[in-house]
Chains A and B, each alone.
Chain A
Amino acid sequence: MSIAHLYMNLERVASRVIDWALHTEGSSRTSALIRIGIPLIIWARLANDLAFFNEPSLARILFEANFFAATTLMLLGYYSRTACTWAALNMLAIYYYGGYVLGIEPWTHHHISLLAMATALSALTPCGKSYSLDRYFAVRKAQHLGHTIPAESGNLWGLRLMSLQLSIMYLGTAFDKTSWAFLGGDRLEALFMYYYSGSTYPDMIGFHALMIVLSILTVALDYILAFGLIFEATRKWLIIPGLIFHGILYLFLPVFTFTVTVWLLYLAYLNADKVHAFIDTMHGYKKDGA
């Protein structure tokens, strides 16, 4: 292949990647489902920490009231993208200022940072165009004026960023666990012992071998998920293993809301229009929109 051909092929690939990343219009329902899920997960983790009864100081209560206002608007989808931005600023303040400046150590954990980043990225999605008050008012206005009902669609580059975030997470964790200490089973053994048997090595035949196998499978799956979830051809085989993998982590380790957040963000990988059609089918809508 000549240099010119190679260049043309690379240019074609780059153009397709850019179109996929930045210029894809698609259904907004996936973005909306993520927009609804995130504040519910945030509340499950933080609502108790941020309830007024914890510390009755004016500054704290004002912050907490602003937090609940922002996340409520995000959930309801009122001025959706602004609400997402507002909620994201709250989450970033909780993570960085609360966690690292005020020293509230549980707020520095990864399930909080993932929630904060996902909230921020939601602001870049067309999350208000479906399942929101914004949508309700837009439809009512169109009906009142006799205009066409606005389409539930928008630029999906925000979802691409969410996918990229998850893939980088998988790649980073896989890369860092690619060491003899982990792949040889030692680190997983210590982790298991820390939570289950303490300083007493489990009296179980094959325990070490099991830890080696699980360690290798974990790293292999992380590498595969990092890339495989991006492409539709491989994604269909990996969604279920990925969901199960995180489910197992949820049961065995104190990951808090990390698993459910990742489960929710898997929606960002899916073909938005196919998700839209799937939901239409569940509602019994006909293909032509009737």
Chain B
Amino acid sequence: MRWMMFSHKGVGMLDVTFYQREEDGTLVRLDHKKILGYPEGAEPEHMRGLMDVYKVGDSLCDSLGGADIRIVARKATTQGWKDVSTLSREDNVCPLLTYI
């Protein structure tokens, strides 16, 4: 007996949050869809790999020019959410993304 219906839907999808680090150190969540001009009512965006994340991050860095952008991501698995360890709140990704 196994739960089959929808048991693998969403698995592998990333939950990605973009933050801008303010000068006082606080992290402000960014609405990347609004900043990057995603059309209203567009289909849900499914980021599945780090390249998907980096592309959006790179666009944000370009849009916000010189901002300190942090990315936190976790991956949906059948065992629940698992953190993506290569991304954390500790690093400004913009300098790193210029090489991608």
Contact = CB atoms under 8 A, between A and B. Distances in A.
Contact of A186 (B4, B7, B76): B76
A201 B15 contact: yes
A180 interface: yes
A172 B76 CA distance: 23
A253 B29 CA distance: 29
Interface in B6-30: 6-7, 9-11, 13-17, 29
Given A181-B78, A199-B47, A200-B33, A191 B1 contact: no
A197 B41 CA distance: 10
A176 B16 CA distance: 28
Contacts of B52: 199
B96 interface: no
B16 A187 contact: no
Choose among A110, A179, A186, A255 the residue with the greatest number of B CB atoms under 10 Å from its CB.
A186
Give the interface centre of B6, B13, B44, B77 by most chain A CB atoms within 10 Å: B6
* Chain B, interface SS category: loop
Contact of A190 (B13, B16, B32, B43): B13
- Chain A interface residue number, banded: 20 to 34
20 contacts: A179-B79, A181-B80, A187-B80, A190-B13, A190-B15, A190-B81, A193-B44, A194-B10, A194-B76, A195-B9, A197-B44, A198-B13, A199-B15, A199-B16, A199-B46, A199-B52, A200-B33, A200-B45, A201-B17, A255-B5
Given A186-B76, A194-B10, 20 more contacts: A109-B5, A110-B5, A168-B1, A172-B2, A175-B3, A177-B3, A179-B79, A181-B77, A186-B80, A189-B81, A190-B10, A190-B13, A191-B6, A191-B10, A194-B9, A197-B44, A199-B14, A199-B47, A200-B32, A201-B17
Interface of B: 1-7, 9-11, 13-17, 29, 31-33, 43-47, 52, 76-81
